[in-house]
Structure 1
Amino acid sequence: MKSILVPVEDHDRTEAMLSTAASFARLFGSRATGFALSPATTPFLAADVVGASILYEPLTEQTEQSAAAARLLFEKFMTERKIAWDWREGIAPGDHMVGYLGRVFDITVVGRPEQRISGPRPLTLDAALFDSGRPVLIAPPGAPASIGSNVVIAWNRSTETARCVALALPVLEAARSITVLTVEGSGVPGPDGQELADYLAARGIAARAVTVSPGKRSAGETILAEAAALGCDLLVKGAFTQSRLRQIIFGGATRHILESAEVPVFMAH
């Protein structure tokens, strides 16, 4: 985990995202690469060439100002925390660029979405998860006090979670405590939590398997409640679709965790 991609734009969780990225970089002695992210130009502008030209100029000027502010913030934040960094010049026009650029980084750090992910426009998280082929670290709303020391793996036996665990091996090797958490009745056919713990043990990684009953809670609620009770500072979870339509990809436990997690989440698809 030596290279970290950090898309930077102005929102109320930028500082928490940068703090999460810096903490993760410090854990591995990584270099953080920042770049200015800008939403794509609204499609309807192209319908009227004259109108588009009128609206495009102030939009470009504002975007350039935002990009300059993003770099200053990123540079100051990483320098003060003695994190190795660099900056990718230019402005990434649209969230899809996060996926493109992320293909040559070990991980991409994004902020936790503020509301449910829906609608046709891909969000930053969507692009990072589905287009980069690399894992994503989702920052909580507040800056984490620690990260990667006490890890909980939300194990549902799925292919997606198995891949996520494989990508998270460097993190697991550095952790002090690992819990493989399974929620009764929420998984798919596959190896149980103890079998995953045994797999990790064979690689010299100590982990304990825990299975809990959700009671009246959903799987997502159970995962977050148990993670909090364990003092978890990083949740490892695979992201998976319940529909082939990208605009409604998140549901169930994934949706709840993306909306409610107060700890960093290491996620992959």
Structure 2
Amino acid sequence: MGYQDILLHLSDDPRSAVKTDVALRLAQKFKAHLIALYTVPPPVVPYYSGEFVPAAFMQQQVDESLAAAAKAQAAFEAATAREGVAAEWIVTEGAPVEAAATAARAADLVVMGQPDPSPQEGILVSPAVGLLPHEVALSTGRPVLALPYAGQFTSIGKRVMVAWNGAKEATRAVHDALPFLKAAEKVTVLCINADKSRGTPGADLVRHLARHGVKVELANTVADDISVGEALLSTIADRDIDLLVMGAYGHSRLREVVFGGVTETILDAMTVPVLLSH
């Protein structure tokens, strides 16, 4: 099992070069075909502009967006040629979420960026830039590698942590992440506040992964004074983790009660790349 097709989502945002670099290295690592999907957003109308918006104002945004797309394409094609990576470029002016979800269904892995968690007040954020990895994971059933908004990621997947609660979403995430897990120097399966009445939580998964040749260890911990999401972030820092693997859960009130809004906590404050599956 491996990743044969990697989809990279790009848009006119300052982190495009970082995302491209990560996707290129992953394509080389897994000998995968790299597909760049550039989503051109619809024009943004300022809420204070009133009912009438001049056509010239709208057309200017379109022209600027298409010019940015052409510039991004030139940079992407130069980078893939330099690195010898088989690649293709797709640009779409459709709704960003739908376009990304459609393309993702024909890929093994999707690489996306975390939207800026603290955008400057008064700055118009393009819907293409603010595309949520969580949305794509939930709507496609494909694994999404979300990259934090800040930082450089020269190493992804040497020290991996699996957030394990036994749920079907976590199970899917583990198996979607197997190419990373098999190549890792060390994998930690972390169970937080797990029920120990039926034996050691996570032990079956550790044995299963070991049979796949994964260098894996089990860790169980209790989070009394902090949330599960905060406990995950703390453990990531303590163990120098460079990739988190976890299930992506929906936003219903019931799920937020059961799982403590873990997905939202991680995606709001992520410090390392996160592989999400639903």
Structure 1 length as normaliser, TM-score?
0.83
167, 185, 191: which one pairs with 1:182?
Answer: 191
Does structure 2 retain, via aligned residues, the 8 Å contact 1:23–1:146?
no
Residue 11 (structure 1) aligns with: 13
| Structure 1 counterpart SS, 2:219 | strand
Percent sequence identity over aligned pairs = 30
- Report the 3-state secondary structure (helix = DSSP H, G, I; strand = E; otherwise coil) of the residue aligned with 2:272: coil
Candidates 17, 38, 57, aligned match of 2:40: 38
Match of residue 225, structure 2, among 191, 197, 216: 216
Q: Distance in 2 between matches of 1:90 and 1:135?
A: 22
String of CA shifts for 1:122-173, please: whole Å, max 9, x gaps: 8342442122221000112222121112111011221111111121122212
Equivalent-residue separation in structure 1 for 2:242 and 2:269 (angstroms) = 14
Q: 2:79: which partner in 1?
A: 77
Q: Distance in 2 between matches of 1:23 and 1:186?
A: 39
Corresponding residue SS for 2:34: strand
| Letter matched to residue 265 of structure 1 | V
CA distance in 2, matches of 1:61, 1:195: 56
1:199 aligns with 2:208: yes
Alignment counterpart, residue 238 of structure 1, candidates 244, 247, 251? 247
- Of 126, 147, 152, the residue aligned with 2:156 is 147
**1:59 maps to which of 61, 69, 92:** 61
Q: Size of the alignment, in residue pairs?
A: 260
Amino acid at match of 2:180: V
**1:27 matched residue in structure 2:** 29
Q: In structure 1, what is the Cα distance between the partners aligned to 2:184 and 2:97?
A: 32
In 1, are the aligned partners of 2:22 and 2:154 still within 8 Å (CA)?
no
CA deviation string 1:87-139 (max 9, x = no partner): 124544422200011110111110012228xx9xx834244212222100011
Post-superposition shift, 1:33?
1.0
- Structure 1 residues 256, 50: closer, same or farther in 2, change over 3 A? closer
What are structure 1's unaligned runs of at least 5 residues? none
Q: Secondary structure at the match of 2:13?
A: coil
Classify 1:217/1:81 alpha carbon distance in 2 versus 1 (closer, same or farther; 3 Å). farther
Instruction: Please list every run of 5 or more consecutive structure 2 residues that lacks an aligned counterpart in the other structure.
Output: 119-126
Q: Runs of 4 or more off by more than 6 Å in structure 1? A: none
- Secondary structure of the residue aligned to 2:116 is coil
Shift of 1:216: 2.0
SS of the residue aligned with 1:95?
A: helix
Distance in 2 between residues matched to 1:254 and 1:231, nearest whole Å: 20
Q: Give me the CA root mean square deviation.
A: 3.3
Could you tell me which amino acid in structure 1 is paired with residue 136 of structure 2?
A: A
Cα distance change on mapping 1:17 and 1:89 into 2, 3 Å: closer
1:205 match: secondary structure: coil
CA distance in 2, matches of 1:200, 1:129: 23
Q: 2:242, 2:168 → 1: CA distance? A: 24
| CA drift at 1:68 | 0.6
- Which residue does the alignment assign to 1:164? 173
2-structure distance, mates of 1:143, 1:190:
40
TM-score normalised over the length of structure 2: 0.80
What is the CA–CA distance in structure 2 between the aligned matches of 1:54 and 1:191, rounded to whole Å?
A: 65
Distance 2:260 2:69 in 1: 33
Contact map agreement 2:43 2:62 (CA 8 A) in 1: no
Superposed displacement of residue 51, structure 1: 5.0
Counterpart amino acid of residue 29 in structure 2: L
Question: Counterpart of 2:8 in 1: which secondary structure?
Answer: strand
